[in-house]
């Protein structure tokens, strides 16, 4: 691409998903001096038979964009017009792809919690699905590891291990394992499996000696040159390159598509990660993003490392937590009582189980009755909760790092196991995926996110309206300003702000005094434990607020310390959540639990209460 | 606020109670001579009973009698205890007591006997006892005990029932917790010891760096508890190095310690399924001299550039010499010793230090073996119970329980 | 786009069926184009590479890894007999010898002078692919497999358990809404494919396994029973490799649901004929459904039926696949184009349906129906 960022005024971006291809049009508004997303088009993806050419779906979706915007985007030869005039053509075209199951990788490293984990982080950050992690200490016998590599048939393997100048034998052993397995790529028979080596630089020669003949070996800088520091960039970039050069080349039509784009095609989750990382860095905030799909749930986060205050990006994929294909797995992993605690009416276990399984075998159906909707949203809460637990366990500080101590540390020696996810510092929580983006009421999305993630302190909530994050992710690589502007203005629908004091306080006792200066007048009062309150404050509106946590309650400034801040509105409003953190106080008795839950749902206007209560009586 | 008020009220109440009880305990001192006391003594004839209260290793007879009438007490000088080995009336004086006493224990280990011919009481002899009431005028009224007695030796010392119960409680706790540990497995909560958690990471670090791990068992002899605890940790470390396939160096200061350590490491490698990776050269003897040993180990650290150093066991002056060298060499260091004097040196130079008893707890914590885990939990509870008892006893002593009893008695009498 | 995604299950009385029978690895095809094959005929075979066992040779021999090459007696790639020595180290002027012997018949794969390990590869495992359905070989994919073609009656299920099997079709229920209970199964049913009605109970399934029934085709199955049957909670619908001694095909879904009349009728018609059943299911992109294939001889054929992929229009026969009308059959009466708010407040494109059973008309989202394909 050789256009200057200031010359770019019209952008087309597509995301080729496994079922639909989504296109968006971004235009520069000269009057307001900002980039806005103006139109979107959608068409079925055409990777599989009978079409077997991804570009058809892309062109269909772009054609829809052209029809809707009245702008001529395709020429007579059915190609995207790249010379922009007044109402014809676009400056750049970019795309992401997750068609064909996305990028499926295997990673290998020496120690599971060190180089293997860094390699996993690199692969996940690049947008891959990590099928398995092979490590010297993963308690599998070599022949089991070989069997596994052969069975899984990944698109690519990332091999790391050893710091620079570190172990040789372990790394070579891993290379020998891979060589013995002689893995074949998943797609296409005619090409060699790409393997990226990002380990000990002293072992390069040995590794290439072992692997060169059997696979397509690429060597990049060590992703863990010393244990104290990760250097994931080169490995991540190389994964993107190899994804383009090898994996994409095998998918029908991608060669043509690649020739059209002005920036490399990114794997969809990698692009989502990129935009979240960018936004967090630009605004200096800590962000969690979640994308709950049918088969998998991705969690992205940017938190500051408690040691050096540098923002750290993490992504995890919970490959078996989702709302349709994997819905039954949510049940298996969360257990029934955990799901039914979110359902405010009694339900027969057999019936619930059968309903969930039926959704699994018929993944495209949508809930018609309120009962089905409530059940589906209950399952979504558990899927999100479990995915976030996995994310927290993964997003940790580096292990194996040397510590400096003074005598004062005698009784306060902390390990390095700590997660860097600190919900109190979280500024923005973004949800996306059908169940969150398309919930009939936005209040439901807010409620699901609060129940599943339990944000602490003051946190803004938002959903991705039309799953535009992938497009913006790849755009951020080209035109950062346009991407972030559109992200905040069009992509995100702000739901509002959740204010949740932390602390275990007895039910019914005072938790927090509040005073919020709304445009319509000041609201003052006392929030009690186990209570939820909602105040309307529209999108783009702000209000000054003073919160005084009582007793042991904490809103980020310490126990019982007053917080003066500005809260941001949204389609839902300002939510005061007095349910207690980190554990919510829920009565043991079933009826009392349902009654309390109905209270919360009513205060927040989550469901049609009459019908909901009727369900309980029926 | 509330607490302070409660505390103050408690204090005030205590003081009032104590002073009241003191007042009530005072008795009027009225002594007047009255020669009509004899018939009253005879009338109040104290009936004496004898009991065998022998316990483990001590033969003892307890003589009890009804108290004399309070009215005649002022006229009584002493109560005398006589014993006869057979019923031949050869009663010998064995004890003099105050008038108001009601019991006497004639034990085999009591030294002071008034009549030396009496000798200590013995098992399987037949004894008769008499109580004498000596009036101020010098008369002695003798009353025979109801029956003879043949004291028998017994197995248990009833006096030590409290330690016995304590032992029993501890025993039940241990058994109970072992059962709980068996059932709940690893769920049983043990406070995480950061140093132990980090051992895996430290070994991982060495693996990634491709450098060996140094394990020092200290200068203790093989029977020191610290050394024994160190073997368990060594077993764990060795198992991990076997899994990670990292080199392990164990220089020893004592030949016997070396032999045990070799066995420990070999077993650990076998357990990890890598017996082929073990060699006897991993564990070796250096020297028994303290500073020669330090020099050798320091040299090792610098030559082999060990990535991780573990020090568990008994350490003396060499602690700082070793750990400071390791620190300068850039190794991750984990230490643990029960030598309190060495702890500060380890804390400042090592990444993680196990303090005192944590060293013993570490083996249970690492092994997650129900037996060790249960015992560890039980020990903690026993300590907690002891702490509570000490606290209660301190309170009881501070508020004078005896005084309160008397006060209450007086109150009841008054009512 | 006006296209409505309506998944459908194929139920057809006569269809030209082609099955690709492909090896997991390249191998040898044993039949040629034009051959007639039976279900059990082996059409292709190959050998899976054997297990690899690393031997920590340098340490056992007590030699440095870099010198290991000097002590290995065989070349890389050489075959070893059981007990044959392949490495030898001598010490003390040949007084002490350490020998490494092959634990089994295997190949010396590689010798590493960095890790000091020798890799041994054991004998390959043979793999065979059978024809699965009776028919004619119409294509041979060299070294990979074949395509078998046959005319057949064909029914897809929604979900299944267990792999490929075959047996004589037998109806054990008289009506699609009759549950399949244990008393309907007897010892005579061994080797049969049993067709039931609305649901198969856990007890009936157990009895069927005891009596060596090959497969069961039924309308519904209870999830709780599925869990007890498998011994775990099925997380994702990818099945086929279970080894439970029976293949189960569920045509409608979970819970007691009468089998679609069309399927039931088809089975009834072919009672007594041989049926091939596969329970393998994969509900993901590249969907695989369980199926019953009843191959037909040429003589049974009269005319070729025209098979048409369905689209929704008034009169299309459909089935509802979600509550509250789950499992009911009907015909489309109207296709309003505007989005409609449902009871759950979800806005969706809907259609009106007239139920076959009671002629009532209801509104359901288009996503919640499937076209009954013929």
Is the domain of A198 the same as that of A247?
A: yes
Give the Cα separation of A330 and A297 in Å (integer).
11
Closest residue in chain B to residue A403, using alpha carbons only = B351
Is the domain of B222 the same as that of B358?
A: yes
- pLDDT, tens only, C8-63: 677 888 888 888 888 776 788 899 898 888 888 899 888 877 777 878 888 788 88
Count of Cβ atoms closer than 10 Å to residue B336 Cβ: 30
Which tokens is C23 given? 């090896």
- Smallest CA–CA distance, residue C97 to chain B, in Å, is 17
Provide the pLDDT for residue A618.
67
Mean pLDDT of C168-188: 89
DSSP helix/strand/coil, A505: coil
Is B236 part of a structural domain of the chain?
yes
Is the domain of B196 the same as that of B343?
A: yes
> Where are the strands (E) in B36-84, listed by range?
48-52, 60-65, 76-84
Is the domain of B166 the same as that of B106?
A: no
The mean pLDDT of chain A is 86
Q: Which of A570, A425, A403, A434 is nearest to A497 (CA)?
A: A570
Is the domain of B215 the same as that of B318?
A: yes
Q: Which of A227, A236, A225, A233 is nearest to A199 (CA)?
A: A225
Provide the pLDDT for residue A500.
92
8-state DSSP, A7: G
- Hey, which residues does A43 pair with through a beta bridge? A21
Provide the pLDDT for residue A104.
83
**pLDDT > 90? residue B312:** yes
Is the domain of B208 the same as that of B353?
A: yes
Is B17 part of a structural domain of the chain?
no
For residues C320 and A190, the model is more confident at C320
Provide the pLDDT for residue B185.
65
The mean pLDDT of chain B is 82
**C46 within 8 A of C25, measured Cβ to Cβ:** yes
Is the domain of A450 the same as that of A506?
A: no
Closest residue in chain C to residue B274, using alpha carbons only = C56
8-state DSSP, B5: H
Is the domain of B217 the same as that of B205?
A: yes
Indicate the helix (H) or strand (E) that contains B331: none
Is the domain of A291 the same as that of A205?
A: no
**pLDDT > 50? residue B29:** no
Provide the pLDDT for residue A381.
94
Is the domain of B347 the same as that of B224?
A: yes
Interface contact flag, C158 A146, Cβ < 8 Å:
no
Is A424 part of a structural domain of the chain?
yes
Give the Cα separation of C7 and B328 in Å (integer).
69
Q: For residue A319, list chain C residues with Cβ-Cβ distance below 8 A.
A: none
Is the domain of A106 the same as that of A25?
A: no
Provide the pLDDT for residue B296.
95
Q: Backbone phi, then psi, for C160, in 5-degree steps?
A: -145, 170
Is the domain of A134 the same as that of A187?
A: yes
- pLDDT, tens only, A309-325: 888 898 888 878 888 88
- pLDDT, tens only, C81-99: 888 888 888 877 777 788 8
**pLDDT > 70? residue C6:** no
Q: Which of A14, A16, A29 is nearest to A489 (CA)?
A: A29
For residues A427 and A83, the model is more confident at A427
Is A594 part of a structural domain of the chain?
no
Provide the pLDDT confidence category of residue A199 given band limits of 50, 70 and 90: very high
Interface contact flag, A369 C52, Cβ < 8 Å:
no
Provide the pLDDT for residue B33.
47
> Where are the strands (E) in B236-276, listed by range?
248-252
Q: Which of A118, A151, A149, A114 is nearest to A134 (CA)?
A: A149
Is the domain of A300 the same as that of A325?
A: yes
Is the domain of A326 the same as that of A463?
A: yes
Residue A75: give the domain boundaries: 5-99
Hey, is the C-beta of B195 within 8 angstroms of any chain A C-beta? yes
DSSP helix/strand/coil, A282: helix
**Which residues, numbered 255 to 314 in chain A, qualify as contacts with chain C under a Cβ-Cβ cut-off of 8 Å?**
295
DSSP helix/strand/coil, A211: helix
**pLDDT > 60? residue A414:** yes
Mean pLDDT of A141-148: 80
Is A490 part of a structural domain of the chain?
yes
Is the domain of A388 the same as that of A491?
A: yes
Mean pLDDT of A496-524: 89
- Kindly give, in sequence order, each residue whose CB lies less than 8 Å from that of residue C268, ignoring residues fewer than 6 positions away: C171, C195
Question: What CATH number is attached to the domain comprising B63?
Answer: 2.60.40.10
Model pTM? 0.76
Q: What SS3 string covers A231-249?
A: CCHHHHHHHHHHHHHHHHH
Q: Percentage of chain B surpassing pLDDT 70? A: 87
Is A604 part of a structural domain of the chain?
no
Provide the pLDDT for residue A93.
92
Residues of B with CB under 8 A from a CB of C: 274, 276-277, 279
Hey, is the C-beta of C319 within 8 angstroms of any chain A C-beta? no
Is the domain of A306 the same as that of A449?
A: yes
Is A597 part of a structural domain of the chain?
no
Count of Cβ atoms closer than 10 Å to residue B281 Cβ: 8
**A180 within 8 A of C119, measured Cβ to Cβ:** yes
**Which residues, numbered 420 to 449 in chain A, qualify as contacts with chain C under a Cβ-Cβ cut-off of 8 Å?**
438, 440-441
Is B10 part of a structural domain of the chain?
no
**pLDDT > 90? residue A197:** yes
Is the domain of B351 the same as that of B213?
A: yes
Interface contact flag, B198 A416, Cβ < 8 Å:
yes
Hey, is the C-beta of A562 within 8 angstroms of any chain C C-beta? no
Domain count within chain B: 3
Interface contact flag, C322 A173, Cβ < 8 Å:
no
Is the domain of B394 the same as that of B329?
A: no
Provide the pLDDT confidence category of residue C216 given band limits of 50, 70 and 90: very high
Is the domain of A245 the same as that of A322?
A: no
Interface contact flag, B344 A139, Cβ < 8 Å:
no
Provide the pLDDT for residue B78.
87
**pLDDT > 60? residue C305:** no
Which tokens is A435 given? 């169940």
Q: For residue B210, list chain A residues with Cβ-Cβ distance below 8 A.
A: 162, 165-170, 200
Mean pLDDT of B124-153: 83
- pLDDT, tens only, C108-164: 888 888 778 888 888 888 888 888 888 889 989 888 789 998 888 888 888 899 888
| Domain termination residue (choose one: A208, A225, A253) | A253
Q: For residue B276, list chain C residues with Cβ-Cβ distance below 8 A.
A: 56, 59-60
Is B52 part of a structural domain of the chain?
yes
Domains of chain C are: 11-16+151-300 (3.50.30.10), 52-122 (2.40.50), 317-371 (2.30.30)
Is A110 part of a structural domain of the chain?
yes
- Determine which of C144, C285, C348 to mutate to test the interface with A (most A C-beta atoms within 10 Å): C285
Domain count within chain A: 4
**A305 within 8 A of A313, measured Cβ to Cβ:** no
Interface contact flag, A373 C114, Cβ < 8 Å:
no
Q: For residue A401, list chain B residues with Cβ-Cβ distance below 8 A.
A: 205
Is the domain of B296 the same as that of B219?
A: yes
Give the Cα separation of C297 and C291 in Å (integer).
19
Mean pLDDT of A235-245: 85
Closest residue in chain C to residue A376, using alpha carbons only = C344
**C125 within 8 A of C133, measured Cβ to Cβ:** no
DSSP helix/strand/coil, A137: coil
Is B29 part of a structural domain of the chain?
no
Listed as own residue / partner, the contacts of B25-34 with beta carbons closer than 8 Å and 24 or more positions apart are B25/B403, B25/B406, B25/B410, B30/B74, B31/B74, B32/B74, B33/B75, B33/B136, B34/B75
- Torsion angle defined by CA atoms of residues C200, C203, C204 and C210, in that order, rounded to the nearest 10 degrees: 140
Chains that touch C (3 or more CB pairs under 8 A): A, B
Is B120 part of a structural domain of the chain?
yes
Is the domain of B296 the same as that of B399?
A: no
Give the Cα separation of A427 and B384 in Å (integer).
43
Provide the pLDDT for residue B321.
94
| Domain termination residue (choose one: A479, A498, A517) | A498
Which tokens is A442 given? 């936005």
8-state DSSP, A506: -
Q: For residue C65, list chain A residues with Cβ-Cβ distance below 8 A.
A: 169
Residue B390: give the domain boundaries: 159-176+374-414
Give the Cα separation of B31 and B74 in Å (integer).
6
**pLDDT > 90? residue B298:** yes
| Domain termination residue (choose one: A75, A99, A123) | A99
Rg of chain B's alpha carbons, rounded to an integer? 35
Is A507 part of a structural domain of the chain?
yes
Provide the pLDDT for residue A16.
86
DSSP helix/strand/coil, B316: coil
Is B9 part of a structural domain of the chain?
no
Is the domain of A366 the same as that of A444?
A: yes
- pLDDT, tens only, A462-502: 998 888 899 999 999 888 888 988 988 888 999 999 999 99
Q: Backbone phi, then psi, for B36, in 5-degree steps?
A: -85, 15
Is B302 part of a structural domain of the chain?
yes
Provide the pLDDT for residue B323.
93
Is the domain of B91 the same as that of B112?
A: yes
Provide the pLDDT confidence category of residue C307 given band limits of 50, 70 and 90: very low
Is the domain of A135 the same as that of A249?
A: yes
- pLDDT, tens only, B185-205: 656 777 778 888 888 888 999
Q: What is the ipTM of this complex?
A: 0.80
Count of Cβ atoms closer than 10 Å to residue A283 Cβ: 13
Count of Cβ atoms closer than 10 Å to residue C238 Cβ: 14
Question: What CATH number is attached to the domain comprising B266?
Answer: 3.40.50.10160
Is A480 part of a structural domain of the chain?
yes
**C279 within 8 A of C247, measured Cβ to Cβ:** yes
Question: What CATH number is attached to the domain comprising A136?
Answer: 3.40.50.2300
């Amino acid at each position: 691409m050789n256009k200057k960022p200031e010359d770019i005024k019209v952008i087309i971006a597509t995301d080729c998903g496994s079922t639909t291809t989504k296109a968006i049009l971004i235009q520069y508004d000269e009057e307001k001096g900002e980039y806005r997303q103006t139109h979107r088009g959608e068409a079925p993806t055409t990777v599989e038979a009978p079409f077997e050419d991804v570009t058809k779906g892309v062109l269909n979706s772009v054609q829809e964009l052209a029809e809707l915007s009245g702008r001529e985007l395709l020429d007579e030869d059915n190609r995207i017009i790249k010379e922009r005039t007044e109402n014809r053509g676009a400056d750049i075209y970019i795309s992401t792809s997750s068609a064909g199951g996305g990028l499926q990788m295997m990673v290998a490293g020496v120690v599971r919690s060190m180089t293997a984990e860094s390699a996993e982080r690199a692969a996940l950050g690049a947008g891959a699905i990590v099928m398995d992690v092979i490590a010297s200490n993963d308690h599998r016998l070599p022949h089991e590891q070989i069997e596994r590599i052969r069975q899984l048939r990944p698109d690519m393997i990332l091999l790391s291990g050893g710091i620079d100048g570190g172990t040789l034998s372990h790394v070579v052993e891993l290379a020998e394992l891979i060589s013995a397995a002689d893995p074949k790529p998943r797609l296409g028979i005619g090409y060699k499996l790409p393997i990226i080596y990002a380990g000990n630089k002293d072992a390069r020669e040995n590794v290439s000696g072992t692997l060169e003949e059997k696979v397509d070996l690429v060597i990049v800088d060590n992703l863990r040159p010393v244990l104290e520091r990760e250097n994931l960039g080169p490995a991540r970039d190389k994964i993107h390159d190899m994804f383009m050069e090898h994996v994409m080349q095998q998918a029908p039509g991608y060669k043509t598509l690649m020739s059209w784009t002005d920036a490399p095609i990114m794997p969809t989750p990698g692009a989502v990660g990129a935009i979240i990382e960018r936004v967090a860095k630009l605004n200096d905030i800590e962000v969690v993003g979640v994308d709950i799909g049918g088969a998998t749930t991705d969690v992205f986060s940017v938190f500051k490392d408690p040691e050096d205050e540098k923002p750290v990006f993490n992504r995890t994929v919970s490959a078996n937590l989702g709302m349709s294909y994997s819905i039954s797995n949510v049940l298996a992993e969360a257990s029934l009582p955990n799901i039914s605690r979110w359902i405010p009416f009694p339900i027969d276990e057999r019936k619930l189980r059968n309903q969930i399984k039926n959704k699994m075998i018929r993944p495209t159906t949508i809930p018609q009755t309120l009962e089905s909707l409530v059940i589906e949203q209950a399952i979504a809460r558990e899927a999100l909760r479990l995915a976030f637990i996995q994310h927290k366990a993964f997003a940790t500080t580096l292990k194996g790092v040397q510590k400096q101590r003074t005598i004062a540390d005698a009784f306060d020696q902390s390990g390095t196991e700590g997660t860097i996810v600190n919900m109190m510092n979280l500024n923005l929580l973004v949800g996306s995926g059908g169940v969150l983006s398309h919930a009939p009421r936005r209040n439901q999305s807010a409620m699901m996110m609060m129940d599943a993630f339990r944000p602490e302190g003051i946190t803004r909530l938002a959903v991705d309206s039309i799953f535009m994050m992938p497009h913006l992710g790849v755009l951020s690589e080209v035109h950062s300003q346009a991407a972030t502007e559109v992200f905040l203005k069009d992509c995100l629908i702000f739901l509002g702000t959740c204010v949740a004091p932390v602390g275990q306080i007895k039910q019914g006792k005072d938790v927090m005094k509040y005073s919020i200066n709304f445009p319509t007048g000041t609201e003052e009062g006392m929030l009690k434990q186990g209570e939820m309150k909602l105040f309307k404050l529209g999108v783009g509106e702000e209000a000054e607020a003073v919160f005084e946590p009582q007793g042991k309650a904490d809103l980020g400034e310490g126990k019982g310390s007053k917080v003066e801040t500005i809260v941001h509105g949204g389609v839902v409003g300002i939510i005061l959540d007095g349910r207690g953190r980190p554990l919510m106080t829920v009565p043991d008795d079933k009826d009392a639990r349902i009654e309390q839950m109905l209270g919360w749902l009513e205060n927040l206007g989550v469901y049609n209460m009459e019908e909901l209560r009727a369900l309980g009586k029926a | 606020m509330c607490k302070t008020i409660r505390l103050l009220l408690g204090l005030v109440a205590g003081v009032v109670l104590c002073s009241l009880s003191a007042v009530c305990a005072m008795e009027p001192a009225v002594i007047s001579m009255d020669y009509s006391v004899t018939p009253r003594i005879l009338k109040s004839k104290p009936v004496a009973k004898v009991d065998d209260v022998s316990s483990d290793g001590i033969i003892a007879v307890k003589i009890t009698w009804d108290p004399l009438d309070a009215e005649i007490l002022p006229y009584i000088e002493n109560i005398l205890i006589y014993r006869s080995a057979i019923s031949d009336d050869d009663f010998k004086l064995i004890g003099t007591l105050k008038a108001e006493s009601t019991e006497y224990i004639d034990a085999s280990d009591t030294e002071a006997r008034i009549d030396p011919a009496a000798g200590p009481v013995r098992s399987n002899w037949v004894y008769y006892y008499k109580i004498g009431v000596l009036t101020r005028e010098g008369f002695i009224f003798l009353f025979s005990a109801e029956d003879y007695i043949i004291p028998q030796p017994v197995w248990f010392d009833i006096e030590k029932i409290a330690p016995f119960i304590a032992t029993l409680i501890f025993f039940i706790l241990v058994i109970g917790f072992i059962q709980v540990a068996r059932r709940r497995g690893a769920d049983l909560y043990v406070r995480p010891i950061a140093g132990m958690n980090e051992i895996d990471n430290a070994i991982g670090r060495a693996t990634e760096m491709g450098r060996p791990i140094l394990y020092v068992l200290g200068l203790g002899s093989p029977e020191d508890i610290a050394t024994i605890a160190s073997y368990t940790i060594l077993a764990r470390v060795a198992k991990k190095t076997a899994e990670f396939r990292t080199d392990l160096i164990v220089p020893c200061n004592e030949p016997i310690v070396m032999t045990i350590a070799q066995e420990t490491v070999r077993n650990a490698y076998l357990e990890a399924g890598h017996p082929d990776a073990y060699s006897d050269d991993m564990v070796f003897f250096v020297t028994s001299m303290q500073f020669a040993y330090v020099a050798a180990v320091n040299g090792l650290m610098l030559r082999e550039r060990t990535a991780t150093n573990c020090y568990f066991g008994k350490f003396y002056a060499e602690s700082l010499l070793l750990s400071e060298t390791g620190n300068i060499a850039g190794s991750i260091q984990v230490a643990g010793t029960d030598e309190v004097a060495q702890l500060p040196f380890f804390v400042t130079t090592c990444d993680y230090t196990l303090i005192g008893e944590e060293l013993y707890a570490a083996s249970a914590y690492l092994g997650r073996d129900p037996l060790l885990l249960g015992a560890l939990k039980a020990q903690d509870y026993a300590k907690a119970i002891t702490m509570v008892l000490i606290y209660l006893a301190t309170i009881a002593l501070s508020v004078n329980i005896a005084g309160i009893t008397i006060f209450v008695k007086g109150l009841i009498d008054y009512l | 786009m006006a296209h409505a995604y309506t998944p459908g299950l194929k139920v057809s009385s006569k269809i030209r069926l082609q099955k690709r029978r492909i090896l997991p690895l390249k191998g040898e095809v044993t039949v040629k184009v034009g051959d007639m094959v039976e279900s059990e005929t082996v059409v292709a075979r190959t050998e899976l590479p054997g297990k690899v066992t690393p031997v920590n040779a340098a340490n056992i021999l007590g030699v440095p890894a870099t010198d290991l090459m000097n002590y290995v007696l065989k070349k890389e790639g050489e075959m070893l007999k059981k007990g044959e020595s392949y490495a030898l180290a001598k010490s003390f002027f040949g007084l002490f010898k350490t020998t490494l012997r092959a634990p089994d018949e295997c190949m010396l794969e590689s010798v590493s002078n960095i890790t000091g390990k020798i890799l041994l590869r054991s004998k390959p495992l043979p793999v065979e692919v059978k024809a699965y359905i009776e028919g004619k070989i119409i294509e041979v994919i060299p070294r990979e497999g074949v395509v078998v073609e046959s005319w057949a009656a064909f029914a897809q299920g929604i979900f299944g358990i267990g792999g490929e099997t075959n047996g004589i079709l037998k109806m054990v229920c008289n009506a699609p809404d009759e549950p399949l209970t244990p008393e309907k199964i007897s010892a005579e049913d061994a080797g049969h494919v049993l067709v039931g009605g609305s649901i198969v109970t856990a007890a009936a399934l157990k009895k069927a396994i005891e009596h060596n029934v090959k497969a069961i085709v039924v309308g519904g199955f209870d999830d709780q029973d599925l869990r007890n049957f498998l011994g775990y909670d099925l997380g994702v619908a990818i099945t086929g490799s279970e080894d439970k001694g029976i293949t189960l095909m569920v045509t409608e879904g979970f819970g007691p649901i009468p089998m679609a009349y069309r399927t039931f009728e088809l089975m009834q018609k072919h009672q007594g004929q041989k049926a091939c059943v596969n329970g393998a299911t994969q509900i993901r992109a590249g969907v695989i459904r369980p199926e019953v294939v009843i191959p037909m001889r040429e003589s049974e054929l009269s005319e070729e039926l025209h098979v048409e992929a369905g689209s929704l229009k008034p009169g299309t026969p459909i089935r509802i696949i979600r509550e509250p009308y789950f499992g009911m059959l009907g015909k489309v009466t109207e296709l309003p184009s505007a989005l409609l708010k449902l009871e759950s407040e979800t806005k969706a494109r809907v259609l009106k349906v007239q139920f076959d059973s009671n002629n009532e008309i209801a509104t359901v989202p288009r996503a919640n129906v499937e076209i009954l394909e013929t």
